[in-house]
Amino acid sequence: MNALVLDPIAWTDVGAVTDVPVRGARRVPTPTGDVAIFRTGDGQVFALVDRCPHKGGPLSNGIVHGHAVACPLHNWSISLATGHPLGADAGKGCAPTVPLQIRDGRIYLGQP
Amino acid sequence: MTREKLVVIGNGMAGCRAVQEVLKRDPDRYEITIFGAEPRVNYDRIMLSPVLAGEKAFEDIVINDEAWYAQNRITLHTGCTVEGIDLTQRVIQVAGQQAWPYDKLILATGSEPIRLPLPGSDLSGVVTFRDLDDVGAMITASANPDSRAVVIGGGLLGIEAAYGLSKRGMKATVVHLMDVLMERQLDASASFLLTEALAQKGVETVLEAQSEAIEGKDGKVTGLRLKDGRVLPCDLLVMAVGIRPSAGLAKAAGLEVNRGVVVDDGLRTSDPAVFAIGECVEHRGQCYGLVAPIWDMCRTLGEALTAGTGAYEGSALSTRLKVSGVDVFSAGKHLGGEGCEDIVFRDAGRGVYKRIVLEDGKVAGAVLFGDAADGAWYFDLMRSGQPVGDIRETLVFGQAATEGLRGLDPSAAVAAMADTAEVCGCNGVCKGEIVNAITGQGLTTLETVRAVTKASASCGTCTPLVEKLLKLSLGDAFQAQSGPKPVCGCTGHGHDEVRRRIVAEDLRSIPAAMQALEWATPDGCSTCRPALNYYLLCAWPEGYRDDRQSRFINERVHANIQKDGTYSVVPRMWGGVTSAAELRAIADVVDKFAIPTVKCTGGQRIDLLGVKKDDLPAVWSDLNAAGMVSGHAYGKALRTVKTCVGTDWCRFGTQDSTGLGVRLEKFMWGSWTPAKVKLGISGCPRNCSEATCKDIGVICVDSGYEIHVGGAAGLHIRGTEILTKVATEEEAIWTICAVAQSYRETAWYLERIYKWMDRLGIEWIRAQVADPADRKALYDRFAYSQRFYRIDPWAERVAGRDSHEFNPLSRRMEMAPA
Ligand code: SRM
Ligand SMILES: Cc1cc2nc3c(=O)[nH]c(=O)nc-3n(C[C@H](O)[C@H](O)[C@H](O)COP(=O)(O)OP(=O)(O)OC[C@H]3O[C@@H](n4cnc5c(N)ncnc54)[C@H](O)[C@@H]3O)c2cc1C
Ligand code: SF4
Ligand code: FES
């Protein structure tokens, strides 16, 4: 049998996938700032630190399209998978990704 | 010579195929025994769906009949469940029989359908969909007249079950947790089309539905209750929510098991004499639920058991749905992702949607709906990993369109195309027709080619090809032309075309519009989605369900986002008039919520700045209690109506400008418009409310009211133009609402009134409202729409609507970990 391997990341159950609107986002406050959880049109879930690399706009308030979010402040398009700006603003910083797992329809976040 | 004893547990797809692969290579090597829990010979499980639908009989789907077992000297024990394996003695245990010895053992136990642990799941009439007995139970249930079925699970199996039951005369409903059917294979666009196709076949779908309990009476199922309280009545409930590898037997024997029985690339388990294949297996962390990987595994196992070589390296997957007349194919990274590009093709006329996902210049996945004939070709391209850069332009049209052109440089390729080769798939126009039209009728522009031949007039994907044909025929005389500016990169259509077709074709949702207008992306972008949402809302005031996720944050939360992520709140102050009670309530709210800034706006009202998002509903609740409603300072909507004091107080006032402003604002507030709309009403030509630089302005004079339009004082400074002059306040209101409605119906999204006027001309606007009957009709449409939109969004939020916008998902991570 397998030896028991301790998972080095502490996972926290922050809610059901269905609590996040499709093509929308919710935020989860943490001691180091908010984490934004996105759900895309095709049902995938992503987590980023909720701060736009441009001027700190709260990405959880943006419009989600494809696998990107349009920042609510100045409309940069940020990749949900990597947190990097896309298109004209590529290469200008990034919103760090946050470890995330989906188990049985629940969202588990690791410490950002 | 005694042969080695090969024992197989599981008489299903994998078990029998493995035996075939061994026999093919070395028919005499093993003495073979198969144990199967099902009381029948080996059949094609995937064809159970057509059996359920009545399109095939059991005899048609038998793969190996009794004669086959006999010919190949295989001992078959049907209806016989293996209960234990002794790895050290190398025997298996079967109820009521002696231990059965083996030299080599193959586990092919498949998987079990998952049963949701809902209350009532043990009622009679609750079934799963896995084997022939399940199909039998379903067919029996469908025999009762007027019977209804609910299928939990909108994956491949659930949909095929529902379709089969519906073909047998039951009223079938698929209930799915997600908002996309078959979300592991399809994207939202294909799912939308599938939902529609199923509806046409009598299968209803309920998406985003969480099952709560199964209701029953006298031990029999009567319905499914959802979390939101809805009850779907039914006489048969099918659970098709997924499968779990049948690995219990292996685990009890001490074999290494994770989700499935763990095997290496030789398909060997942790015991060297025991192999495993099929759905019970976990290989490189992956469990499979389709037959293609099983065929690959069986080939490798056949090698391993005869030649001792061969390695299985995992399988790429593709899926087809088996519902007659509904062509669905999916493979690979069908959803795209980081570093991927999409090529999307939609043919609204034929109900076709194709999405090819490219990564590093190679095909990485595909979703095809409505025309899946090229599925196998895309799948081959995907597996071979060959670069497709040189066939990119024609890739989405499929193999036939592409093969003719492969390897040629683009213009040579166009020249080399046969005259009969199809260029425009949407309208079925071939190269010859286009070239003839160009040369025969002297066409020189894309527009005229579109008009004459219809080529590239629908989805626009073939525009580059048509342009190449123009260039080829005209040489340097051709200059690429552009048609009306498209809404955004997701479509070739301009705003007018989109608006026209939404109304003409009765399109009532964003997915419906995207499909009919052949959008080139799967779910649009932040430019087109808000525009479509507005156009739909304007076209269908009574029934359209606003798509919140297609609105900019300010319109979603009814406040203006500030640079630090806080919000500003601007209550309406009708016509700029306030009272002690309102001011007191504002002051109280400021104190209670420690709002840092209170400022008079340039629009005659008060702005509360720096409100925390979580506090918004509570702030609104207090303002509502004092009778104040949202000022829509955030919206593409009616903003302010600035007034001056007029005849009430002013010594020059000619009419009641304050009163008219208040009436207008109370009638027009809440209406959504293409861009913001600001009004100004001045009591005399001194114009103290700056009416001549507003979107619509009124200058009161002794003999009546001058109506002005098209002013601005923002990025551009523009004085208004006089539209008309009317004698009474009533006429002023009709005219203003009629102009507003004409603007609502014809402007492009984000086009302010002055730009709209630049585009269409003041004469055109005047003509819209000149005839009293036309003016009345516009006014009536405005008034009708206002029945649905003159609602305070703050009060709705205070009452709990969209509360998820304001509350964090969870507060469990707020504290630092201990
Ligand atoms: C609050 C206010 C400034 C103030 O402190 O007085 C204001 C604040 C903003 N204005 Fe304004 N405008 C305000 C009156 C005006 C006026 C004066 C007026 O309405 O008489 C104008 C010029 C008149 C006009 O609209 O032509 C004005 C022309 C603009 C423009 C330029 C519009 C244009 O098409 O040229 C923008 C940018 C835009 O809309 O794209 C803008 C955009 C903005 C935004 C929404 C910027 C933004 O996108 O975040 C600011 C939001 C601040 C907030 O959160 O409240 N604001 N803005 C005024 C609110 C009026 C109200 O009661 O609703
Ligand atoms: C309705 C339906 C439609 C499908 N459609 C498709 C499709 O379109 N395309 C596709 O690729 N796949 C499809 N599949 C999936 C496909 O059928 C499976 O992937 C495949 O059958 C798995 O083969 P298997 O041999 O691993 O398991 P199975 O075919 O389930 O065989 C396992 C056998 O082992 C027996 N068994 C289990 N435990 C024991 C025991 N202890 N002792 C003795 N016998 C035991 C079981 O009774 C069963 O007969 C469909 C499945 C279903 C149910
Ligand atoms: S003038 Fe500029 S800075 Fe001032 S409120 Fe308007 S948009 Fe903001
Ligand atoms: S802060 Fe995000 S785009 Fe400016």
Residues B759, B678 within the same domain: yes
Burial of B504 (0-12, 13-18, 19+ CB in 10 A): exposed
Q: How far is the CA of B788 from the centre of ligand 1 (A)?
A: 26
The listed CATH number (1.20.1300.10, 1.10.1610.10, 2.102.10.10, 1.10.10.10) that belongs to domain A20-97: 2.102.10.10
Q: Which residue has its alpha carbon closest to ligand 1 atom 61?
A: B603
A55 vs B336, B563, B816: nearest CB: B563
pLDDT digits (tens, 9 = 90+) for B264-303: 999 999 999 999 999 999 999 999 998 889 989 999 999 9
Residues B700, B596 within the same domain: no
Question: Would residue B384 count as lying in a domain?
Answer: no
pTM of the model: 0.66
Number of A–B residue contacts, CB under 8 Å: 129
From B7, B8, B9, B13, give the residue whose CB has the most ligand 2 atoms within 8 Å, as the site to mutate.
Answer: B13
SS3 state of residue B815: coil
From B570, B578, B606, B607, give the residue whose CB has the most ligand 1 atoms within 8 Å, as the site to mutate.
Answer: B607
Question: Would residue B673 count as lying in a domain?
Answer: yes
Cβ atoms of B102 and B273 within 8 Å: the answer is yes
Q: Residue B586: its pLDDT value, please?
A: 97
From A50, A69, A74, A94, give the residue whose CB has the most ligand 4 atoms within 8 Å, as the site to mutate.
Answer: A74
For the segment B472-501, the average pLDDT, to the nearest whole number, is 80
Q: Residue B410: its pLDDT value, please?
A: 55
Show which of B600, B635, B670 is a domain's final residue: B635
Show which of B551, B583, B599 is a domain's final residue: B551
Amino acid at B146: D
Amino acid at B816: A
Q: Is any Cβ of chain A less than 8 angstroms from the Cβ of B31?
A: no
Question: Would residue B586 count as lying in a domain?
Answer: yes
Q: Residue A10: its pLDDT value, please?
A: 82
CB pair distance less than 8 Å for A67 and B337: yes
B816 vs A23, A31, A37: nearest CB: A31
Residues B545, B581 within the same domain: no
Chain A residues in contact with B817 by the CB 8 A cut-off are 10, 111
pLDDT digits (tens, 9 = 90+) for B510-540: 999 998 898 988 889 889 999 999 999 999 9
Q: Residue B480: its pLDDT value, please?
A: 57
Number of compact structural domains in chain B: 5
B815 vs A31, A56, A109: nearest CB: A31
CB pair distance less than 8 Å for A1 and B526: no
Scan for tokens 């059996």, then name that residue. Answer: B51
CB pair distance less than 8 Å for B335 and A44: yes
Task: Give residue A1's pLDDT band: very low, low, confident or very high (50, 70, 90).
Answer: very low
Which-ligand-closest: CA of B751? 1
d(CA B368, CA B363) in angstroms, rounded, equals 14
Residues B747, B605 within the same domain: no
Which atom number of ligand 4 is nearest to the Cα of residue A71?
2
Q: Which residue has its alpha carbon closest to ligand 1 atom 47?
A: B560
Closest C-alpha among B734, B573, B727 to residue B662: B573
pLDDT digits (tens, 9 = 90+) for B707-763: 999 999 988 899 999 999 999 999 999 999 999 999 999 999 999 999 999 999 999
Q: Residue B769: its pLDDT value, please?
A: 94
Residues B649, B766 within the same domain: yes
Residues 6+ apart with CB under 8 A from B446: B456, B463, B466, B467, B470, B480, B481, B483
Task: Give residue B316's pLDDT band: very low, low, confident or very high (50, 70, 90).
Answer: confident
Residues B15, B65 within the same domain: yes
Q: Residue B709: its pLDDT value, please?
A: 97
Expressed as residue numbers, the domain containing B33 is: 4-112+245-306
Which atom number of ligand 1 is nearest to the Cα of residue B711?
26
CB pair distance less than 8 Å for A66 and B336: yes
Task: Give residue B482's pLDDT band: very low, low, confident or very high (50, 70, 90).
Answer: low
Q: Is B219 left (phi over 0), alpha (psi -120 to 50) or beta?
A: left
Chain A residues in contact with B556 by the CB 8 A cut-off are 61
Cβ atoms of B513 and B507 within 8 Å: the answer is yes
Question: Would residue B708 count as lying in a domain?
Answer: yes
Residue of A nearest to B816 (CA): A31
Q: Is any Cβ of chain B less than 8 angstroms from the Cβ of A57?
A: yes
Show which of B241, B264, B282 is a domain's final residue: B241
Q: Is any Cβ of chain A less than 8 angstroms from the Cβ of B210?
A: yes
**pLDDT higher than 70, residue B236:** yes
Residues B564, B656 within the same domain: no
Run of H or E including B376:
helix B375-384
d(CA B646, CA B662) in angstroms, rounded, equals 12
Residues B279, B172 within the same domain: no
Cβ atoms of B240 and B210 within 8 Å: the answer is no
CB burial of B714-729 (b: ≥16 within 10 Å; e: otherwise) equals eeeebebeebbebeeb
Residues B228, B301 within the same domain: no
CB B139 less than 6 A from any atom of ligand 2: no
For the segment B168-175, the average pLDDT, to the nearest whole number, is 95
Question: Would residue B459 count as lying in a domain?
Answer: no
Report the CATH number at residue B742.
3.30.413.10
Q: Which ipTM value was assigned to this complex?
A: 0.70
Question: Would residue B668 count as lying in a domain?
Answer: yes
CB B93 less than 6 A from any atom of ligand 2: no
Report the CATH number at residue B296.
3.50.50.60
**pLDDT higher than 50, residue A3:** no
Chain A residues in contact with B529 by the CB 8 A cut-off are 63, 65
**pLDDT higher than 80, residue B428:** no
Q: Among A11, A65, A69, which would you mutate to test the B interface (most chain B Cβ atoms within 10 Å of its Cβ)?
A: A65
At B227, give phi and psi (nearest 5°): -55, -35
Instruction: Tell me the β-bridge partners of A25.
Output: A38
Residue ranges in B426-568 assigned as alpha helix (H): 431-441, 446-453, 463-474, 495-504, 510-516, 528-539, 553-557
Question: Would residue B789 count as lying in a domain?
Answer: yes
pLDDT digits (tens, 9 = 90+) for B19-48: 999 999 999 999 999 999 999 999 999 999
Q: Is any Cβ of chain B less than 8 angstroms from the Cβ of A95?
A: no
Q: Is any Cβ of chain A less than 8 angstroms from the Cβ of B811?
A: yes
pLDDT digits (tens, 9 = 90+) for B679-716: 999 999 999 999 999 999 999 999 999 999 999 998 88
Q: Give A53 to chain B, closest Cα distance, Å.
A: 13
Cβ atoms of A58 and B808 within 8 Å: the answer is no
- Compute how many other C-beta atoms are within 10 angstroms of the C-beta atom of residue B199: 11
pLDDT digits (tens, 9 = 90+) for B609-645: 999 999 999 999 999 999 999 999 999 999 999 999 9
Q: Is any Cβ of chain B less than 8 angstroms from the Cβ of A78?
A: no
- State the pairing for strand pair B352-359/B340-347: antiparallel
Task: Give residue A112's pLDDT band: very low, low, confident or very high (50, 70, 90).
Answer: low
For the segment B116-135, the average pLDDT, to the nearest whole number, is 94
**pLDDT higher than 80, residue B464:** no
Chain A residues in contact with B551 by the CB 8 A cut-off are 63
B7, two tokens: 């024992």
Q: Residue B799: its pLDDT value, please?
A: 87
Q: Is any Cβ of chain B less than 8 angstroms from the Cβ of A12?
A: yes
Q: Is any Cβ of chain B less than 8 angstroms from the Cβ of A35?
A: yes
Q: Is any Cβ of chain A less than 8 angstroms from the Cβ of B530?
A: yes
Q: Residue B444: its pLDDT value, please?
A: 82
Residues 6+ apart with CB under 8 A from B356: B342, B343, B344, B363, B365, B366, B378, B395, B396
CB pair distance less than 8 Å for B256 and A2: yes
Task: Give residue A2's pLDDT band: very low, low, confident or very high (50, 70, 90).
Answer: very low
**pLDDT higher than 80, residue B337:** no
Q: Is any Cβ of chain A less than 8 angstroms from the Cβ of B282?
A: no
Q: Is any Cβ of chain B less than 8 angstroms from the Cβ of A18?
A: yes
Average pLDDT value for chain B: 91
d(CA B611, CA A40) in angstroms, rounded, equals 28
B552 vs A14, A30, A63: nearest CB: A63
Task: Give residue B458's pLDDT band: very low, low, confident or very high (50, 70, 90).
Answer: low
Residues B62, B83 within the same domain: yes
CB burial of B347-385 (b: ≥16 within 10 Å; e: otherwise) equals bbeebbbbbbbbbeeebbbbbbbbbbebbebbbebbeee
Residues B159, B286 within the same domain: no
% pLDDT > 70, chain B: 96
Question: Would residue B42 count as lying in a domain?
Answer: yes
CB B323 less than 6 A from any atom of ligand 2: no
